[in-house]
Structures are given as C-alpha cells and as structure tokens.
Amino acid sequence: MSTAYTDLLLEAGILVNNAISAQEISNILIEYANSGLNPDLICLYQYENTLNSDMKLVSKRGFNPTPEYLLHDSELFCFLLESQQLVCLNTLKRGPFEELILSDQMQSGLAIAINIAEIKLSVLILNYKQPFSFRRNEIQYLEDLCFIIGKYKLEQE
C-alpha cells in the first residue's frame, strides 16, 4: 500500500477515535473514501429502523442523480450483509450486482457493508464513469478504512 494511503488511514483513525456520534463517523468515512479514491459518485445508505426496511441515502458526493432508497431484499444487499464481503463490478454488465451502478453515466462500481459505531448498518457505494477503475491498492485502502470505521465503538450516542 502506498504511503499516501497509509497517511490517510492514520488521519482517519485519529478522527474516528475522537468522534462523538455515528453521524460524525459516517462523515469521516465519506470524506476519506472520497479523498483516497476520488470516485465520480459516492453514496452511503443506511437502514432506518430494521433490516426489513429499505436503505435510505444519508450521504452523497457527486452530481449524478441517485436513488433515495435501495430495496432491503435485493440480491446485492442480501449478499453484502450476509457475506460481509466487498463487491466490485469493473465493467457495466447485466447480473445480480448491476444495481450497484447507481447512475446511467457510471461504468464501474464497488459496494461494501459496514457497521458504523456498532449501531448503523450501512452500505458504502463508489461509482466511476470509467470501466476498470478499481485496482488492488484502491480496494485494500477502502477495506482498511472500513475496518477502522467498523471497529470503533461510541462511548455514548
């Protein structure tokens, strides 16, 4: 992993350690995913109440229109939540994970489930206008960032 990614992860870890709310931690996740990977579109969806409710868009960077809600029973999100694995789609193609491309102008996408501050089950989605935008270093950076975010526990909410 590059020194730049390592520096960003250290900064994010310090900020997360000083965070006092799940919203603040969500903002750190969006900011550092955006800074490190510079996607054309980045969205954070969270379950509002239970796993039986749809996921609501709570944070977004990018100008493309995106869905306000994602269906809780979609194949993509069921897979993400059950497997706790990242899903990467480097080219736009039909299949069970095509819904991770959130806008018609996007060609590649990545989604990862994360439990923010142990209380906000979320899915982070990054999209790029170019195909094949994800390489191993970028994926490793995002996995490490989500690991840092997911391990933090708030003292109080």
State pLDDT tens for residues 98-114.
889 999 999 999 999 98
Residue 29 has pLDDT above 90, yes or no: yes
Q: Which domains, from first to last, does the chain contain?
A: 3-151 (3.30.450.40)
Closest CA to 12 of 151, 149, 153, 156: 149
Asked if 145 and 122 count as a contact pair (C-beta separation under 8 A), the reply is no
- Quote the CA–CA distance of 155 and 67 in Å, as a whole number: 33
13, amino acid identity = G
Structure confidence at residue 83 (pLDDT)? 86
Mapping DSSP to helix (H, G, I), strand (E, B) and coil, where does residue 150 land?
helix
Question: Per-residue pLDDT averaged across 35-61, rounded?
Answer: 87
Mean pLDDT check: name the lowest of 14-28, 115-129, 143-157. 143-157
Q: Does the model's pTM come out above 0.85?
A: yes
Structure confidence at residue 157 (pLDDT)? 42
